[in-house]
Each structure stands twice: as C-alpha cells, then as structure tokens.
Amino acid sequence: MVRAAVLPAVGAPLEITGIELPEPGPGQVRVRLAAAGVCHSDLSLSDGTMRVPVPAVLGHEGAGTVVSVGEGVTQVSPGAGVVLNWAPSCGRCHACSLGEVWLCADALTGAGTVYARRTDGSDLYPGLNVAAFAEETVVPAACVLPVPDGVPLTDAALLGCAVLTGYGAVHHSAKVQPGETVAVFGVGGVGLATLQAARIAGASKIVAVDVSPEKESLARRAGATDYLVASENTAREIRGLTDKQGVDVAVECVGRAVTIRTAWDSTRRGGRTTVVGIGGKDQQVVFNALEIFHWGRTLSGCVYGNSDPAKDLPVLAEHVRAGRLDLGALVTERIALDGIPAAFDNMLAGKGGRALVVF
C-alpha cells in the first residue's frame, strides 16, 4: 500500500489515503516518486474544467526512481532516475506522422484505464496517465524518460510540465528571436518558466503581468525587465513600454477570456499571441473581422509547449548545467502530500509560483 491524493469525484475535496498498486505488467514501470509539481491543470481536472474518469489520482509533473519493470521493458532499469511524461506519443496517428507529437490522438489513452485499487477494492484511474500525487506509481514505459545528467532528481520533476511548456511556448510556438519584446501574462509555475525561456531566447524587453503585486520579485528573478499589476489599462501600459507599438510576442498562461484578449491587444501590428493557459468552454473570446485584417496578428494555441520531450529534455538539461535555467527559482513552496489541497487554494487565490511535493 502507498499513500496518494485521490480525487473521489469531480468537485470533491482530495482525500489523502492509502491505495493498492499492482506490480508492473508487460510494458510497465513502477516508479517511487521523489517530487511532484502542483500544476493548475490538476486544479482544472479536479473542478471539471478538463474531464477525466474518477476516482483518480491526479498529478502529472513528477520525477522519481524506477523500482521495478515489467516484461519487455528495456529502456530503463531499477534504480534509474526518470522524469514522468504525461503525454507520450504513439508514433502512428496523423499528428505523429506530421511530427506534431504534442497533438498525439492517443496520448491520454492511459488515463481511461484502471491502474490501481482503493482500499475498498474499487477501481482507480491515473489522472493524466501518470498519477504523480502518490508515493509510488505504475505507468507505461512510454511515460518515463531518463533524468538528464546534472539535473537533481527533485528539480527534474519540473521538467515534466512547467518547464517543457514554458520553454516550448517561447521557442517552438512563438519562436521568439533575439532582440524581440515579450509580455508574459500569469506568473505561476509555467509563467516563471516562460519568463526564463524568453530571457534565454535573448528578448530585449520582458514584461511580466499578474494580478498580484507580491509576485514582482519572483518575476524579475526569472528574467522580467518590467512588471505590471493587471488592470483594464494593461494593454495601454505595455504599449507605453514599447514606443507605443506593443510587444512582438505575448504569451498567455492563465486561460481566461479577458487575459487572452488583453494579450492580443498588447501585441504590435503583425505580432504573435500564444495561449498556454487552459480555460473553460464558457470563456468566450470575441474579435471582429476588421481588426483581424487590420492588425495582422497571429493567435495560436500551445499544447505542452509544442514540445517533443525526448528531444527537448537534453536541451533543457544543458541550459540547467550552464546556469541559464534555474529550476529552483520556479518553486515557491515545498510541501508534503497532505499540503496539496492548500496548494490548490493558493492557486485559486493567485498566490505563489510552483508548489513542489517532496516525498
């Protein structure tokens, strides 16, 4: 038996309880978690914004040590440090054939498969495939990637979502070039990673925007040159910081209609807006046909940073080793498993960066 944070039903409080994990079957790996990040997507799963079968163990950003492997697993062995990959690509669907592995049609198939049992014998599902809010988990072998050399195991958890997403939003989706100006909306874990990625890309001005004035020091440490507390004047203030032009690139990490609209309004004519935040279906963003023509801007969605984890993790690791990427700067709180509900409350209140569960 291992302890886990179980979502018993959509909208219900998490329960910290024991669960029964099976031994890994063919093609599976059992992992003892070292750390797991608490991501806003977990909150979106718990409140029903994103749908998964329940009851489920949430948590999709994690790293740990391989305990045992099932028949046929050769790419990792017991004792190896691994990063959990919550969206493994199948390599066969249309998106994968185009090289767009982040849009794999079968990436979340495992989330609908029973992977463990509650103590009463009832079925339990693995959230976004990997069920990282537990002391141990059993996942398909495709869901683990070796921890790159030089990256501490606990910090490596952040590579599994926040850093891949933020770095990919800048380098793969928005394709920020040296000297360009960037605005980042939302200074949570992904937003902080996005700020660092913009700095690594060589952006000349990086404007961070958040509802909380307390996050300014976090944002500046991550690379922000300017900080704005969100208001109805945000787009005008950003144009004032950029010779009345607007930024070349805006990255929205919140998932709210008003923030997406403000990010769009903050970009220059011909600029790019990348939406990373996950919003609900009720969040309707409105544009008129004339402004789309006149401004010539690009608005694009961004899934998992448009990243290929197998290719991007070594790149990120090199940035870590060279001191360009500071994983520790993303973490504002280190908590135990029991602290996840409070971390959810902090996210709802707009507090802090990334809370990291350390086992």
34-93 residue pLDDT tens: 999 999 889 888 888 888 899 999 999 999 999 999 999 999 999 999 999 999 999 999
Looking at residue 87, what DSSP letter applies? S
Burial status of residue 50 (CB atoms within 10 A of its CB: 0-12, 13-18, 19 or more): middle
| Same domain (yes/no): 7, 153 | yes
| Same domain (yes/no): 131, 206 | no
In a domain, 74, yes or no: yes
Please count the structural domains in the chain. Answer: 2
pLDDT tens, residue by residue, 243-297: 999 999 999 999 999 999 999 999 999 999 999 999 888 999 999 999 999 999 9
Domain that holds residue 110: 2-160+326-358
In a domain, 342, yes or no: yes
pLDDT tens, residue by residue, 181-223: 999 999 999 999 999 999 999 999 999 999 999 999 999 999 9
In a domain, 316, yes or no: no
Q: Where are the beta strands (DSSP E) in the chain?
A: 2-7, 15-20, 28-38, 56-57, 61-69, 81-84, 116-118, 123-124, 136-140, 144-146, 181-185, 205-210, 226-229, 247-252, 267-275, 298-301, 331-335, 354-358
| Same domain (yes/no): 225, 297 | yes
Q: Distance (Å, rounded) from C-alpha 226 to C-alpha 302?
A: 24
In a domain, 310, yes or no: no
Backbone angles phi, psi at 6, to 5 degrees: -105, 130
Structure tokens at 215: 């996050």
CATH assignment at residue 330: 3.90.180.10
| Same domain (yes/no): 274, 200 | yes
Which among 227, 200, 186 has a CA at the least distance from the CA of 326? 200
- Residue pair 340/202 in contact by the 8 Å Cβ criterion: no
Query: What separation in angstroms does the CA of 82 have from each of 33, 52, 323, 353?
Result: 9, 25, 21, 23
Q: 29 pairs with which residues across the strands?
A: 69, 139
Entry pTM: 0.95
| Same domain (yes/no): 334, 226 | no
Structure tokens at 3: 């302890």
| Same domain (yes/no): 7, 149 | yes
Structure tokens at 52: 């998964």
| Same domain (yes/no): 139, 110 | yes
Q: Distance (Å, rounded) from C-alpha 110 to C-alpha 157?
A: 20
Q: Distance (Å, rounded) from C-alpha 358 to C-alpha 334?
A: 6
| Same domain (yes/no): 108, 187 | no
Q: How many helices (H) and strands (E) does the chain have?
A: 11, 18
Q: Distance (Å, rounded) from C-alpha 107 to C-alpha 143?
A: 10
